[in-house]
Structure 1
């Protein structure tokens, strides 16, 4: 169970409701001034590199409303990619079609017993936001709605959506059905990797052929960045928009997960709890469509891809022993490092934490990993890269043998043994000097005396 899930629905609803009135704190990278988004939560990511460029209360719990349908669509296209389904497979709708859908929910008047293709159901769910189409897809993919909801939560966990809990397939309000702007961005990032999903959410319209129970349907996108059919206003259109999904309930407010592609770059923005585009018949200047467009443009105009670490620049040197040719080795990054940064931010100001050993012994191979370098800026980590040797250093056999001899005689037990040997030798020398002299003196004192006569008489 994720955190908050043990809260009673009433208290969870209270927390979420109060958070709508809490001033949002914006966090962005250095760059040109960007005023906070007029919404409860927001996030902007570089979709090409999965890097967060701006966030505003991105981890606060919110109700996702119909943005939930992104997960339903994702699970469906993944089943298609695995070969478990075909987009052209025909589906006969069952009696559970309207499960969990109350009054006021968006539908396309699908009927039990009606036959449509999986492609038709996906378009009904993602373009005009038909709730019952999501339930139909759930039965097709997982066999039942409860089993599909379990898959939704399982997939959310796999995507790192740690603050998300689904209880239905469509996003009709439920106090226990919640997520965050950050989690939604992760879900959308994954979904937009699938061409079928991407094609549907970027479509202005779609035609569902006549079925056995209904005339032809003309579907129009609810996303005003893509289509002006619902709003009637061309001022909200964004020429670079490629999706993704709207959502609104009284509890969630007005929400939009959007994506745009410009000059070969892709951005994803999520705005939750924003303003409607029109209030009491009057256009609202800073609504959830305009704020999403402003976020996307901020990403395109104020950020660029920069090299923060070059793979060819030396980082430092390490002293090396046992090599006759050179007493140091130079290290450099094993690979380069790039990041999407504000245009006016110079990577030279990044903090660099270099970790290297104090000394090394030859041999050292070229490219051998010897340490690492970590880059960060104002508390944000931009990555850690291995540092490798730029050259190979051979070991000198003479220096190695000399070193081994020095090491041998440097051992404490060897020093003790040598000291003991010296002491023993000294003892033997002293003993020899002392006792050897004593023996010589004893031999000299016992020798017989010789008496010589002084008589010189004549012999006879």
Structure 2
């Protein structure tokens, strides 16, 4: 058993050093108009296409992905409720750019304000939410930058929560993909807002139409956020899902709004055409493992986690598994104890190793238990 554990740990260390993303197709030959872009698969975080993705550029209103992330984290942690009422300050009401023309003292629920931020990029609502959560936009921006560091966003410095032009307010396509992934992966309820095409507020008197045209015109679109200023030009983080795989396409500094959407569609089309997420299972159901000196003779093994493998579609039929299990397993066995592993290969390349664990605890027989069992077997043999 000790020898098996040593081998297993060695294989785990090898697997931990495997690249989290396989090599990208450097010759994809995509024709894009933007200055910087990236395509990322959401579940694994694998980068599928990269065009100068660490260039530090102005993000315009794509900034609000971080604003929405902090708001959704507060909602999902219980610190904030969708039904909470936000009272608008004079400062929030005075925001320029995209807005829903909030008035000082006007009240609106958190849910309605999130809708305004996601659908029409309301700067006034973004600031009102920031003030409600942190007391001031300045304090909220400090939280934005702290969260950016936690996510590994090394190219980013936020100066405001809206993306309005400000000296030193920069990020990168890669960092935008990171915060987009965090928002969509861990706060999926944001999709009920980011997929709205048309809606209204104030009892139907003020109409909203999504700035993200892909919501209406690109099948599978799930969001996420557009942005544009004279200096940032046209930016967006576009998310879409097909066949159980969601992609994040980030476009920075496209020359026109039409080219921004065309670039995003080009990236998404490329991803969906060439990659797939494959569910991986053992070739056969896992058989019970014999346990020496256990109060029960066998223990049922199970996979520690599911395996979903991102593969190039051309390699989908090359996925295979190899199973290794402990021999001469002796009680006691703890629930969750490692019993083996399932290695997943694409061709000859090891792509994942999944621990196989005990589904239950098995206690060791005591000396009286052993004598009682022997006596029972003796009586049954007569």
TM-score by length of 1: 0.58
Q: For residues 35-434 of structure 1, what are the structure 2 equivalents within 5 Å?
A: 35-98=30-93, 101=95, 105-192=97-184, 193-210=186-203, 216-227=205-216, 237-277=217-257, 287-305=259-277, 339-345=309-315
Give CA deviations for 1:5-44 in whole Å, capped at 9, x if unaligned. xxxxxxxxxxxxxxxxxxxxxx972398442432111111
Q: Given the superposition, is the C-alpha separation of residues 338 and 134 from structure 1 closer, same or farther in structure 2, using an over 3 Å criterion? A: closer
Q: CA shift at 1:288, angstroms? A: 0.9
Residue pair 1:80, 1:87 contacting (<8 A) in 2 also: yes
1:65–1:248 Cα contact (<8 Å) kept: yes
Give distance in 1, aligned partners of 2:340 and 2:109. Answer: 58
How many correspondences in the alignment? 305
How many angstroms does 1:186 deviate by?
1.2
List per-residue Cα deviations over 1:60-119 (Å, max 9, x = no partner): 1111100111111111121111222221222221122156x45xx112111111111111
CA deviation after TM superposition for structure 1 residue 125, in Å: 1.4
Tell me how far 1:339 sits from its aligned partner.
3.6
Shift of 1:364: 10
Cα drift, residue 246 of structure 1: 0.5
Unaligned residue ranges in structure 2 (runs of 5+)? 1-21, 284-303, 320-326, 331-336, 357-382
Pair member with larger Rg: 1
- Cα displacement string for residues 149-170 of structure 1 (whole angstroms, at most 9, x for unaligned residues): 1111111112221221111010
- Looking at structure 2, the residues matched to 306 and 120 of structure 1 have their Cα atoms a distance apart, in angstroms, of 38
> Helix, strand or coil: the match of 2:249?
strand
> CA contact under 8 A between 2:93 and 2:104: conserved in structure 1?
no
Q: Distance in 2 between matches of 1:219 and 1:254?
A: 20
Distance 1:277 1:28, change over 3 A: farther
- Confirm or deny: 8 A CA contact 1:311 1:336 kept in the other structure: no
Q: What SS does the aligned partner of 2:239 have?
A: strand
Unaligned runs of 5+ in 1: 1-26, 228-236, 279-286, 313-333, 350-361, 388-460
2: distance between equivalents of 1:194 and 1:335? 21
Distance 1:336 1:78, change over 3 A: closer
Q: How does 1:8-23 map to 2 (within 5 A)?
A: none
After superposition, the CA RMSD in angstroms is: 3.7
**Distance in 2, Cα, partners of 1:273 & 1:203:** 25
Distance 1:344 1:129 in 2: 40
Distance of aligned partners of 1:383 and 1:183 in 2 relative to their CA distance in 1, 3 Å threshold: farther
What TM-score do you get using the length of structure 2 for normalisation?
0.69
